[in-house]
Amino acid sequence: MLFESFHSIDWVLLGALLALFMGQVGYYLCTMYHLPFTKAESLRRREGQEEGCPGVSVLVCAHNEAYNLSAYLYALLSQDYPTYEVIVVDDGSEDKTREVIESYMVQDKRLRITFVPKEARVRSTKKLALTLAAKAAQYDYLLLTDADCTPESTHWISEMMRGFEPCTMYDVRCTKDDVRSTKDENPFSFNGAENKKAELWSNKNQVRFVQSQEGMLYTQMGVEAYRRMARMEEGTLCHNIFARIQTKDQLEHVLDDAQQRGEIDNQEQRETLRQLISSAWEGSAEMNSWFTDPWIVKREHAVFKDGKELRPDRVMINAQTNEAIVLDYKFGKENEKYTKQVRDYMEALQQMGHTHVRGYLWYARKPKGQQLKQIRKDQNNG
């Protein structure tokens, strides 16, 4: 007989093969039996989402990202979330970023594009880009990402929305009444933005979106905001350069250093800054002496008034006479709050033991000869 010649090892091998065969048969039977129910469950989830889950606006910032967007946009537009849009902000790209986006827009109406105008090339354009994207969004939920980041799967948006109950990937009980938002249809399109904050709500989470200063100006002023932001940036840069200067003959060296650091973009900007800063000592003999004579100079050093820390722009001390002069630079219009700041600095220096203290404000935008303003303790008006 066939089996009479089998040894014990043969019986072990035969048993193992039979067990493997039965396991495979059982696996296929289970899979075929479970598949219709899996599809039905998947359909039930999707139908539940379509009935109630809130729409999502995916915001993407892109600067010279044509290569990445070619593959990335396909992954974004293949998400299984039922209601969403993709808004790409072209942040001053010089490659074929816009062409790539427009080619996808032809195929999918959920994709839209906006852009940061070239004249708005300020330092923090990403903040402005996100503000523009938020203004363009039609849904209350904003999902932010970058053009060089790829979604982990087609469930990415669904997974991100799981934290915002009652809409989840697995158990949908979402109705319009469950999702609350601000009264404004688009919370970013209001006047008086500095007095309001946009709030996005869900049952369990409250997300507060605080606009950047650039975004707030754009909301209020439109294109005119670009000029305002450029002046603000110029003032900030001048202020930083003043903080590195002790005497006026150091100006050219500090400008060279700022240009090497990338703080100054070109020669034209450097010359504008040089003229603005040098007008400080060219327009006033008193200012000229403060940037020439051997004062003990403290630049943005802390002083204390009644335990509160203050930081004047420049304090000059004459060790022989115990005289102290405090100077603050301003690059906007006159304001009474600046006068109060300088008075606080003066009082702090007196509390530190300086017997003779004088305070000044220097308004950079005023004509030469009118820029320097002395602040007196008994002065009632700026």
| Cβ contact 77:109 at 8 Å | no
From residue 145, give the alpha-carbon distance in Å to each of 26, 148, 360. 45, 9, 47
Q: What is the pLDDT of residue 132?
A: 83
370: which residues sit within 8 A by CB, 6+ positions away? 283, 363
Question: Can you give the pLDDT at residue 226?
Answer: 66
* pLDDT exceeds 70 at position 243: yes
Q: Does the pLDDT at position 373 exceed 70?
A: yes
Is residue 204 over pLDDT 50? no
The answer on pLDDT for 46 being more than 60 is no
- Answer yes or no: is pLDDT of 263 > 80: yes
pTM: 0.46
In 3D space, the residue among 315, 244, 249, 325 whose CA is nearest the CA of residue 281 turns out to be 249
Q: What is the pLDDT of residues 62-92, one digit of tens each?
A: 888 888 888 789 889 999 898 999 999 888 8
pLDDT band at residue 381 under the 50/70/90 scheme: very low
Q: What are the beta bridge partners of residue 143?
A: 58
Lowest mean pLDDT among 47-56, 293-302, 340-349: 47-56
All structural domains of the chain, each given as residue ranges with its CATH number in brackets, are 52-220 (3.90.550), 228-375 (3.90.320.10)
Smallest CA-to-CA distance from 76 within 59, 62, 89 is with 59
How far apart (Å, rounded) are the C-alpha atoms in residues 346 and 372?
A: 17
**Residue 262 — pLDDT band, cuts 50, 70, 90?**
confident
